[in-house]
Amino acid sequence: MKSEVTTVWKGDMAFTANVSGHEIIMDSAEGDGGHDIGARPKPLLLAALTGCTGMDVVSILKKMREPLTWFNMKVEAEGREEHPKKYTSFSLVYQFKKSDGLNPDNVLKACTLSQEKYCGVSAMLKDTAPLDWRIEYV
Q: What's the pLDDT tens digit per position in 45-62?
A: 999 999 999 999 999 999
**Do residues 107 and 120 share a domain?**
yes
**Do residues 80 and 116 share a domain?**
yes
**Do residues 79 and 116 share a domain?**
yes
**Do residues 46 and 33 share a domain?**
no
| Domain of 27, in residue numbers | 1-39
Strand segments (E) across 34-80: 71-79
**Do residues 111 and 72 share a domain?**
yes
> What whole-number distance in Å separates Cα of residue 107 and Cα of residue 49?
18
Q: What's the burial of 91, exposed, middle or buried (CB within 10 Å: 0-12/13-18/19+)?
A: middle
- Is residue 35 predicted with pLDDT exceeding 90? yes
> What whole-number distance in Å separates Cα of residue 13 and Cα of residue 127?
29
**Do residues 54 and 77 share a domain?**
yes
**Do residues 50 and 97 share a domain?**
yes
Of the candidates 92, 106, 7, 103, which has an alpha carbon nearest to the alpha carbon of residue 53? 92
Sequence-ordered list of residues with C-beta below 8 angstroms from that of 107, at least 6 positions apart, any chain: 61, 66, 94, 96, 135
Q: Could you read off the pLDDT of 102-124 as tens digits, one per residue?
A: 999 999 999 999 999 999 999 99
Give the total number of structural domains in the chain.
2
Decide if 17 contacts 3 (C-beta within 8 A): no
- Which pTM was predicted? 0.93
